[in-house]
Structure formats: structure tokens, C-alpha cells
A = this chain, B = another copy of it.
């Protein structure tokens, strides 16, 4: 369900070209002239529509991340999430630019990236709470930290997708590397760890518990943030 063809307003065409180039080359490396050339317009028109290169970036941020955030908020339940994944697996190239752009936004420092990450964590937290009540997810003391860990692990595929697919030899036509083959190959190992754990017993966990409990008083670390 995307505006696919060339029947877009010029402003939208420029913005989409910028999303592709900003994601692929980064904001600094991507030039206004390249964006204009990709969109088939003159450099001046880019400035005319967006005020400045920074304004163009803001428009891209708002478009990609607002869209993804609302999608995420609407489809917070596991069923819709599964449908979203299925939709992606059927049309992977439709989302390529968005994925690359989000990865770049999370890498560079930006308020849009911060907001997106926080939204993912919040959504994960909601899922964990619901799963704990439903009995599908184990009970955790520190749900917030657990959600941060899970979100971080999930987003690592987004951040390192190129490396993952390169190492596993599942590199498809997608520049970010996150293709159906990669997901198919990682799903079972990840779910095994999430189901039966990674370690054979609680040795490491107990040792860490003890170390942290004894260290908190003697350590040189600063006080806890309020």
C-alpha cells in the first residue's frame, strides 16, 4: 500500500529521493544537487520547497518516522505485528528506503531517532506486560530494563543487518541486508534462546547477582541517578 508510481507531487518526489539518498549515503555525504537530480528537478527547487537542506531532513524525519510510529502504535498487538512482518516478507523492496533511513536516524544523533527508539521501547514494554498477564512471557522484576534489552536485541538486526547477511551469505538485492532469507535463518536460533535460554544453568546469573550485590556498596561508581 504505497504511492508507487510517478503520480506524486513534486515536493513528495523530492522528499522520497532525499529519504533514499540520506539513508544510503548519510546526511552529510548526500548533496542537494544529488537529491535534485534524482527527483528530476533543479537544486534551487529543493530549497524553494523545504527552505534548506536541514528543513529537507526534518521533512524526511517526520515522514518516515511519523509513519512508522503510527504503524507501530496501531499494530501493537502480536497478530498485527505478524501481519506486518508477512507484508514485509512479501514486498521487501517497498520498505528498503525506509529501513535504511531509520537505521541512519538511529545511528546519527537526532531527536527523531530518539523518539523512535523510545517508541519501540514503550511498545516492547506494553507487549511484555500483556504477555506476562497472558502467561506467554515469563515474569520479570525489572520490566523496563527487560524491555530495553529486548528492544535493543531486536533493533540489532536493523543496525547490523548488512553484516549479518554478509556473514551468513544471505545477501539479497536489499542494501540493508535484511531479506527474507536472513530472517528465516535467524528466527529459530533467536527463538531457541528466548525459549530455553542460552546458558545451561544459572551459574552465570547467580554469580552476576552476587557480584552486583557485593559491589554496589564498595564500588567507586557514582550515585544512582534520580
Contacts and interface: CB of A to CB of B under 8 A. Distances in A.
A141 to B, nearest CB: 8
Interface stretch (A5-13, A55-63, A64-72, A167-175): A167-175
Nearest to A156: B156
Given A153-B153, A156-B156, A194 B188 contact: no
B145 A168 contact: yes
Contact of A186 (B140, B149, B172, B186): B149
A1 interface: no
Nearest to A196: B197
A: contact size bracket: 35 or more
Contacts of A93: none
A138 interface: yes
Given A170-B225, A225-B170, A191 B163 contact: no
Interface string A181-214: 1001111111111111111111111001100100
Interface string A88-114: 001000000000000000111100011
The count of identical subunits is 2
A212 B187 contact: yes
Given A167-B148, A197-B138, A225-B169, A209 B181 contact: no
A43 interface: no
A84 interface: no
B107 A137 contact: no
Contacts of A15: none
28 contacts: A26-B26, A28-B29, A106-B163, A113-B163, A114-B166, A117-B160, A117-B167, A136-B199, A137-B200, A140-B189, A142-B189, A145-B189, A146-B192, A146-B193, A149-B186, A152-B153, A152-B160, A171-B225, A172-B222, A184-B221, A188-B205, A191-B205, A193-B193, A194-B197, A194-B198, A195-B197, A195-B204, A196-B197
